[in-house]
Each structure stands twice: as C-alpha cells, then as structure tokens.
Amino acid sequence: MDHISPVLWQFLVKWMTNFPLFPPEASKIAPQMDALYFFIALVSLIGLVIVILLVTTFCILYRKGRHPVAVQIEGSTLLEATWTIIPLGLFLVMFVWGALIYFRVYTPPANAMNIYVVGKQWMWKAEHPGGQHEINSLHIPIGKPIQLTLISQDVFHSFSIPAFRVKREAIPGRYTSVWFEATMPGTYHLFCTQYCGTNHSQMIGDIVVLTPDDYKKWLAGSTSGMSLAQNGERLFASLSCNACHNAKPDARGPSLANVYGSKLALSSGGTVLADDAYLRESILNPSQHITQGYAPIMPTYQGQVSEEGVIALVEYIKNLNSNYRIDQTLNTTDLLPEGEGKAAPVPAAVAAPKAAPQGMVKP
Amino acid sequence: MSDTIVSLPDQSTARIPKVNFITKENGLLSWLLTGDHKRIAVLYLISLSFFFFIGGALAGLIRLELLTPQTDLMATDTYNKVFTMHGVIMIFFFLVPSVPATLGNFLIPLMIGAKDLALPKINLLSWYLYIAGGLLAIYTMATGGVDTGWTFTTPLSTHYVNTNVLTTGLAVFIAGFSSIFTGLNFIVTIHKMRCPGMTWFRMPLFVWAHYAASILMVLGTPVVAIAIVLVALERTIGIGVFDPTKGGDPILFQHLFWFYSHPAVYIMILPGMGVISETISTFSRKRVFGYTAVAFSSVAIAVFGFFVWAHHMFIMGISNYSVLVFSLLTMLVAVPSAIKIFNWTFTLYKGSITFETPMLYTFGFMGLFTIGGLTGIFLGTSGTDIHLTETYFIVAHFHFVMVGGMLMAFLAGIHFWWPKMTGRMYPEKISQLAAVVTFIGFNFTFFPQFILGTLGMPRRYASYPPEFQVLNVFSTAGATILGVGYLLPVLYLTWSLKYGEIAGNNPWQATGLEWQTQSPPLTENFLETPIMDHEAYDYEWLENQKEKEVASVG
C-alpha cells in the first residue's frame, strides 16, 4: 500500500477496525434480553443455512445438464407437516420467552424509585423526587431499581436507552411507565425514537449512571432546595386546592390524605384505583371523576397547570398521609404579596426556586 | 443448449404477429381511452417506473445525508420531508400497485382464459385515480412537501406541523380507491370469468395469490381512507377524535392506520409470492411442491394478516395482555410464509433446473425474503421488540421484505413475462449481471442496518452519534451499487423493445394458458375460448401438445 499516504492509511485502518457491533449491557434486563436475541439469531441462522444449503444442493444435483428430465412430485404431507410444526413450535418458544421479558420490563417492582419524565418538542425533562430537574440528561445510581413515569406535553415521543434495552413511548395525555436497574457506571445514549417533527434527531441526551457515592454527591450538588412534593405543596396552596380538599367536616371536596393507592367509589357508580393516572385525570378533567357524596363543582385545571405542575401535585398527593400540613397552609395564599405565586413561568422558577411554585402556566 | 430452456423460433423467419394488442389501434387517445387490460397494464408499468425512480432518487438523498454523522447536506426539515416523500411514493405509488396493477392486470385474464377483466372501464378508472393521486403527491412535494413520516402519526400530523398534510392525505386517499377498484375487479374476474375447465384448483398460484391480496385491498383500504378523513377533519375543524384534551385518543389513529397498513404489507408481498411460484415451477420443470398448501397459505396470510396490526404498537402503552394476543397471532402469521419458502425449495428437488434471469431474481427473493421474515420474528417477539422497534433494525427488516422480497419478485416477473408483453426477449447475459449486482448491492445497503438497529440507532434521524458512521458508510456505498442494479434493466429492456430476439409464443416452455397464445397477445387474448383440460403446471401435457403439433405439421 505504498501508493497511499501512510497517515491516511493509518486513519482508515483505525476507523474501519474501531466501531461497535453490539451495544453495552448496562442494565439488569440487558443480558436477559440479549440471551433471547441470540437464541432467535441462532434459530434464524440455522433456518437460513438450511434453506441456502437445500437450494444450493438441489441446484447442483438437479441442474438441467445433470438431470435433464424432471421427476414430477405432487407433494408430501409428512414434509408439509414437518415444516409447519417445527417452525410453529420454535415461534411459540420465542413468544413465551419474549412475553416473560416484556412483562418484566413493564412491571416495576414496588420499591422502585420513581422519576418523572416529560417529553416535549424537542427535549426531555426529568423531575427527580428530591426536586432536581434535568434537561436531556438523567443521572441515576447503579444497583437501584428506577421507575420512569413518562408523559408527553405535545406529540408522541419515545424514551429509548439502547444500553439498557428499554424503551417506552411518551404519550400526550397519559402516563406510561418503564423500569430498569443500571449495573455499570458510565454515560449512555438517550434517544427519542418516535418521529416527533423537525428536530427529532436532536432530541437526544445522556444517561449518566453513577456509583451510589457519586450519586449522593450529584443529588446534593443539583438540588433546588425544595423536593418535588414540596413544590407540589406550594402549588396546591397557590391554586387554592386546600380551600376544598381540607378534610374539614364541611369541606366541599374529599380528603386527599392516604387517597393514593386506595379504591374510590365514584358518584357515577363503580370503583376506581387512585393511581398516578387517576390523580392526573381528576385534576385536569374533574367532572368525569367525582367521588361519591360530593357535588361536581371542581373546575378544570386544564391549561392552567403544566405537565410538570401536575407531576408535582401528583407527587405531593401521593405522599400525603395526614391533613396536618393542609391545615397549616390553609389560606396562607391570602398572606402572599399580590401577584406572587401566579405570574412566574417555569424557567424563572428553576433559577429562583423561592419565587413561586413551579408548574403554573402563565395566565 | 443443455443449460437453458429457452426455445426461440428461427430468427431469420420469425416475425412479431402483425395484429396484436399493441398494433391494433394507434395514437395516444387509443391508449388513454382503452379498456384493454393489457394496455392498462402497460400504462401502469410506465407510470410505476416513473414513481419508482422518483422514490429511488429520494432514497439516494437520504443515504447521501447519512454518509456523515452531522446534518450537512440538508436541513433537518428537508431531510424529514425527503424521507416522508420517499415512504409515501414508494409504498402508495409503487409497492402497493406494483405487481397487481402491472403483471396482475396483464396476466390474470390470460391465465384464467378470459377476454378481459370483468370491469374494463373500472380498470381504466383505477389507473386514472392512481395517476391523479400520484400527480397530487408530486405537486405537494413541489410546493413544500410534508414532514409527518408516511405514517401520519397524530397528534403530530393534526396539530403540530403546517406542511401539506391535507393534500398528501388526499393523494393517498385517491390512490386508495384505485387499489380498491383493482381488488374488486380481480375478485369478480376470478369468480366469474374462468374458462371452461378452469376450476379453482387448476388456477396458477399467481392467481391465488392475487385473489388473497385483492381481499385485503377491498377490506383494508377503506379503513385507511377513514383514518385519513378523520385526520383531515381534525386538522380543519378540530373534531377531537385524536385529541386527548377533548377526550379523544391519539392512539386510536394508530389502530386505524395499522389496521390497513399491516395488511398492506401482505397486499405488497402476496402478488410477489405469486410470481415466485410461477418462475420456480417453470425453471425447474416441475409442478409447485404442495400446490394446495401454497394456495391455502396465501389465504391464511390474508386472513391472519388482519389480526396482527397492534404488533406495531407494543411499546405504545396498549395493555400488556393485548400485546400477548398480538404477539401470538404474529407468530401464527409467520408460519404460512415459512411453509411457502420450504415448498418453493422442494419444488427444486428432482427438477431440471436452469438459471435464466427470472430464476436468479427468484433465488434472490428467496434468500432476502427469508432473512426479512426471520428478522420479523425478532420484532414479533414482544421482549426483543422493545429494544429493536423504532430503530434501523425495523428499517432493515421491512426493506428486506419489501425491496429484497417484493422488488426482486417484481423484477423476476417483469423479465419472465417480458417476452409475452412485448414479443421480444431481453438480453440474457447483461440481465443476469443486473440480477447479481442488485443482490450484492442490496445486502451491502441493508445488512449493516440490522447492526445499526441493534446498536440502537433510531430511524428517521438526520444526524447520529459518530460511532455509527462506518456502518452508515457501508450502507450508502451499497445503495450506490443497488442504484446501478436498478438502472440497468431500464436501459436494456428499453433496448430490447427494438433489438431483442423474437420470442415466439412460449419461449420458456411454460404451462400457463398465457403462454399458449401469441406474443404479444391479441386484444381478445385468445382466438377461441380455451378449455382447461389439465392441472396447473402439467409439463407432461405440454410435452404431449408439442408432439401433437409436430405430428400435425409433419
């Protein structure tokens, strides 16, 4: 290769021999999914080799020069049954194995740490329970199951972490969830994989997996001084939710203490499990979800609270196990100076967390 | 002449028959107002090739942009429009009508011994609808394009883009009716117009495959038409069916869309499978192994094909239990395809095989379709689908099925029936070369994309992380080879129209009724109504016929 510049040659060799062929396995589910991947790959390879071998052999043995007159054969029920039943059996094995993994990926364990993720054109916003916010990155510790609760503010997005082998669609108007447990510290790709418009290919970020110690440092260094639930509490007060949901004997709304995870009787008949999705719906669309015994007087908060704000409220209500705090904050909004707690848009709130609760939509 | 079955008439005395469907009438109007299924097929062939090369040029732009990790050839917006139009044109204006509208149109009446399709004017109307839709699509491209992706996913398409969604939707809507009419025409023709003796189980498998595909066209296409109308209403007057703030459900659109678009995959592939059954039988001189199994597997694919649409939505938040059901049904629909591959393979067994161009394309189809089908199993398995869906793995998978499978079958069919359609042979050596170049170029282009997808590279990205570049360069290089492979047939087939050897009635010594009449056929197809007195693919009957002819001439 003396006619090619050595520098260029070196570059080409390095370039051509140094690219990945398989993604890193950085989560607990990754090796399990890869085992299935390689099983299907192996079966496929065997199937393909069988077809190629048969075709090649027949082409050599029965080419016209060697085998001038074809022998007419009608078919063979035995052979037909063989190549119906064997593939079917193999496909069913893959189906069962795949379903087991699918259910594992989308069934979070009870002790998982929940992080909310909001997708919007064209960024990912993560809300940690400790009040940390991130854009286009997600810091998580190894060895701890993490559940993501995803929602989109506009169009469909999809939160994909190839190194973890997990992916979940972020859907407008609905929570979805996925979980994983990282096993290897490092920085991995985060992609939006559902086409979402102009800058779809820039809706990417980093998943930063830290050791527990580094994670603690990161948490301490990135806090906004207020947890997500505390932020929700301020929002609860400033939206005057506590005017009705205060557990007083004459309260116009039901008590919210310990409501999360309970079964509620609705005035329309039937019961419903009060989960994240239910809490979100009854903030944005309350007349559809009236608890038995109460009048449908709650106004809708659609358009008044951003998805981040709803998340803070949901997180607050989830952690509410007594009405003591509500009593404490009752009517404190009257004491706030005029305008505060209403006007601040979200980014300003990030910069100055004391100014106003996050998540209110600018009127 | 032991390595070929081609038997041409003596070139010094042979002439193209003076009266045939091409020479019967002259002038542009006689073509534009024709009711002859053969002429309409030729119109389709010309217009389809036009759209194919537009779609192909767009594909070239996509691959060129992806040569480097940055967005340097075009802005992301432009890139989004380019891949959207590539998808729209290739799927709705090339793949869906490709084999049915050209080969199916030309051959179904000939194969079942009929004079024409049952509804010739509706057939012509189909072509006009197709052209109207196609021109509208080109117009939208010229006036700003559309950037929703060919899937028109809501609420992106209804609320968040201000490109030509309505006109593109209208183009697809119109083309959909063309497809419905074609399907309807085929169903009626196959039921009502078979010649005496042509029972269902004497029909060529090509006709069976088209029958199955026609059912899908007639039942599936109206659903996508409804989905498009709903998108249009949502965009214009905001009816809110897909809008969660008005109590609608954005996922509903995907259910409607895939209820058509998954069967559409079978609309595309089934006719291709029909072609393969014909070529593989002819070039191994044998009846297709397990004729009834192949015929019924077409119908099974058509039926199961309607019940697997939600496998496009495994990660979309549909319930885990419906994922179970749809994953299982997907596994079931994979079985008939496997059956077909093995039946074709065993058709070769104890045959007398020759390797003319259509057969080379057929082998290409079998290899690439097998890979395409097997990688579909990775995606039908719900667990691995989580990792692989929405990545280049999907892109590679459906290109193996659609381009590696369907386009190979289309080219096999075009070469196989070219002598029947034009009366002249294509040049053999260069077309064999084209088949090999296409196969190599195809694998170079799309195989690296399986690895890219496994690495996690998302589809529809104008830029990507630098470590994916080497594989993308392979893919782009392969696309260049593939482009050459597709240009060659255009050149030599056009050349052959004037300079090709005279083919005679039956250059391949094939058994179908279409080969028992002159090439190109008369407008009425047959001098007298043929009588089918033998099974399909009966090579002994053909031998007897030849002997009789020799005896009567001698």
What are the sequence ranges of the domains in chain B? 28-553
Q: What is the mean pLDDT of chain B?
A: 93
Here the tokens at position A339 are 């305008």
Q: Which residue has the higher pLDDT, A245 or A149?
A: A149
In a 3-state reduction of DSSP, which class is residue B417? helix
Summarize pLDDT for B370-394 with one digit per residue, the tens.
999 999 999 999 999 999 999 999 9
Amino acid at position B509, single letter: Q
Burial B317-329 (b: 16+ CB within 10 A, else e): bbeeeebbebbbb
Class at the top of the CATH hierarchy for domain B28-553: mainly alpha
Task: Kindly state whether A24 is in contact with chain B, defined as any CB-CB distance less than 8 angstroms.
Answer: no
Per CB-CB distance under 8 Å, the chain A contacts of B350 are 62, 67, 70-71, 73
- The CA distance from B449 to B426, in Å, is 34
Task: Kindly state whether B186 is in contact with chain A, defined as any CB-CB distance less than 8 angstroms.
Answer: no
CB-nearest to B348 from A37, A62, A102 is: A62
Site from A14, A60, A62 to mutate, B interface, most B CB atoms within 10 angstroms: A62
In a 3-state reduction of DSSP, which class is residue B299? helix
Task: Kindly state whether B251 is in contact with chain A, defined as any CB-CB distance less than 8 angstroms.
Answer: yes
Q: How far is B83 from chain A (nearest CA, A)?
A: 11
- The CA distance from B62 to B427, in Å, is 32
Judge: A165–B387 Cβ closer than 8 Å, yes or no.
Answer: yes
Q: How far is B471 from chain A (nearest CA, A)?
A: 8
* Separation in Å, CA B171 to CA A28, A219, B156, B168, B425: 48, 54, 19, 5, 37
- The CA distance from A136 to A203, in Å, is 8
**What's the confidence (pLDDT) of residue A337?**
47
Question: What burial class does residue A14 get, using C-beta atoms within 10 Å of its C-beta: 0-12 exposed, 13-18 middle, 19+ buried?
Answer: exposed
Q: To 10 degrees, the CA torsion angle through B305, B309, B312, B313?
A: -160
Burial A181-193 (b: 16+ CB within 10 A, else e): bbbeeeebbbbbb
**What's the confidence (pLDDT) of residue A350?**
41
Amino acid at position B82, single letter: V
**What's the confidence (pLDDT) of residue B317?**
84
Here the tokens at position B429 are 């050596």
Average pLDDT over residues B69-89: 94
Amino acid at position B196, single letter: P
Q: What percent of chain B has pLDDT over 90?
A: 87
Here the tokens at position A91 are 């496909």
Q: How far is B292 from chain A (nearest CA, A)?
A: 9
Other residues' Cβ atoms within 10 Å of the Cβ of residue B360 = 24
Examine the pLDDT at B437 and tell me if it is beyond 90: yes
- This prediction has a pTM of 0.90
- Interface size, chain A vs chain B, as Cβ–Cβ contacts under 8 Å: 294
Per CB-CB distance under 8 Å, the chain A contacts of B333 are none
Judge: B383–A176 Cβ closer than 8 Å, yes or no.
Answer: no
Q: Which residue has the higher pLDDT, A256 or B481?
A: B481
Other residues' Cβ atoms within 10 Å of the Cβ of residue B461 = 27
Range 104-143 of B in CB contact (< 8 A) with A: none
Per CB-CB distance under 8 Å, the chain B contacts of A97 are 381, 383
Average pLDDT over residues B471-477: 94
Judge: B383–A98 Cβ closer than 8 Å, yes or no.
Answer: yes
Strands A137-141, A263-265: parallel, antiparallel or unpaired by DSSP?
Answer: unpaired
The phi, psi pair for B118, rounded to 5°, reads -65, -35
Average pLDDT over residues B67-94: 94
Per CB-CB distance under 8 Å, the chain A contacts of B345 are 51, 54-55, 58
Judge: B291–A75 Cβ closer than 8 Å, yes or no.
Answer: yes
Judge: A169–B316 Cβ closer than 8 Å, yes or no.
Answer: yes
Examine the pLDDT at B450 and tell me if it is beyond 90: yes
Examine the pLDDT at A5 and tell me if it is beyond 90: no
Task: Kindly state whether A89 is in contact with chain B, defined as any CB-CB distance less than 8 angstroms.
Answer: no
* Chain position carrying tokens 């079998």: B366
Judge: A172–B456 Cβ closer than 8 Å, yes or no.
Answer: no
In a 3-state reduction of DSSP, which class is residue B258? helix
Summarize pLDDT for A157-208 with one digit per residue, the tens.
999 999 999 999 999 988 999 999 999 999 999 999 999 999 999 999 999 9
Neighbour order of strands in the sheet with A186-192: A137-141, A204-210, A186-192, A157-161, A166-170
- The CA distance from B342 to B338, in Å, is 6
Judge: B317–A154 Cβ closer than 8 Å, yes or no.
Answer: no
Q: To 10 degrees, the CA torsion angle through B82, B86, B92, B94?
A: 150
Task: Kindly state whether A248 is in contact with chain B, defined as any CB-CB distance less than 8 angstroms.
Answer: no
B424 Cβ partners below 8 Å, 6+ apart?
Answer: B16, B418, B496, B497, B499, B500, B501, B502, B503
**What's the confidence (pLDDT) of residue A358?**
57
Judge: A155–B339 Cβ closer than 8 Å, yes or no.
Answer: no
Do residues A167 and A160 touch, judged by C-beta distance below 8 A?
Answer: yes
Site from B165, B340, B386, B475 to mutate, A interface, most A CB atoms within 10 angstroms: B386
First to last CA, chain B: 24
Q: Which residue has the higher pLDDT, A22 or A242?
A: A22
- The CA distance from B384 to B382, in Å, is 6
A142 Cβ partners below 8 Å, 6+ apart?
Answer: A181, A182, A183, A184, A185, A209, A210, A211, A212
Examine the pLDDT at B199 and tell me if it is beyond 90: yes
pLDDT level of residue A353 (50, 70, 90 thresholds): very low
Here the tokens at position B64 are 């060129």
Per CB-CB distance under 8 Å, the chain B contacts of A33 are 383-384, 386-387
- Please calculate the CA angle B260-B261-B263 and round it to the nearest 5 degrees: 70
3-state secondary structure B430-450: HHHHHHHHHHHHHHHHHHHHH
* Separation in Å, CA B390 to CA A162, A293, B24, B386: 11, 47, 52, 9
Q: Which domains does chain A have, with CATH numbers?
A: 21-223 (2.60.40.420), 228-351 (1.10.760.10)
Here the tokens at position B202 are 């004497």
pLDDT level of residue A342 (50, 70, 90 thresholds): very low
Per CB-CB distance under 8 Å, the chain B contacts of A105 are 383, 386
- Most confident range (mean pLDDT) of A278-282, A322-326, B60-64 is B60-64
Average pLDDT over residues A116-144: 93
Examine the pLDDT at A361 and tell me if it is beyond 50: yes
Other residues' Cβ atoms within 10 Å of the Cβ of residue A64 = 21
- The CA distance from B512 to B525, in Å, is 13
Q: How far is B353 from chain A (nearest CA, A)?
A: 4
Here the tokens at position A258 are 């310990």
Average pLDDT over residues A42-58: 96
Task: Kindly state whether A96 is in contact with chain B, defined as any CB-CB distance less than 8 angstroms.
Answer: no
Contacts of B538-541 with C-beta under 8 Å, sequence gap 24+, read B538/B287, B538/B511, B539/A70, B539/A72, B539/B285, B539/B286, B539/B287, B539/B511, B540/A72, B541/B511
Which run of H or E residues covers position B168? helix B165-192
DSSP string, B215-257: HHHHHHHHHHHHHHHHHHHHHHH---TT-GGGT--HHHHHHHH
**What's the confidence (pLDDT) of residue A158?**
96
CB-nearest to A165 from B4, B327, B386 is: B386
**What's the confidence (pLDDT) of residue A328?**
61
- The CA distance from A50 to A34, in Å, is 24
Judge: B245–A36 Cβ closer than 8 Å, yes or no.
Answer: no
Per CB-CB distance under 8 Å, the chain B contacts of A44 are 371, 374-375, 377-378
Average pLDDT over residues B346-371: 95
**Chain A, nearest residue to B375 by Cα:** A44
Judge: B156–A71 Cβ closer than 8 Å, yes or no.
Answer: no
Here the tokens at position B70 are 């940055």
Q: How far is B298 from chain A (nearest CA, A)?
A: 14
**Chain B, nearest residue to A194 by Cα:** B390
Asked whether this complex has an ipTM greater than 0.90, the answer is yes
**Chain A, nearest residue to B364 by Cα:** A52
- The CA distance from A313 to B513, in Å, is 74
Q: What is the DSSP letter of A324?
A: H
Examine the pLDDT at A341 and tell me if it is beyond 60: no
Do residues B186 and B211 touch, judged by C-beta distance below 8 A?
Answer: yes
As a 3-state breakdown, chain B gives helix, strand, coil percent values, each rounded to 5, of 70, 0, 30
**Chain A, nearest residue to B289 by Cα:** A75
Examine the pLDDT at A237 and tell me if it is beyond 90: no
3-state secondary structure B33-99: CCCCHHHHHHHHHHHHHHHHHHHHHHHHHHHHHCCCCCCCCCCHHHHHHHHHHHHHHHHHHHHCCHH
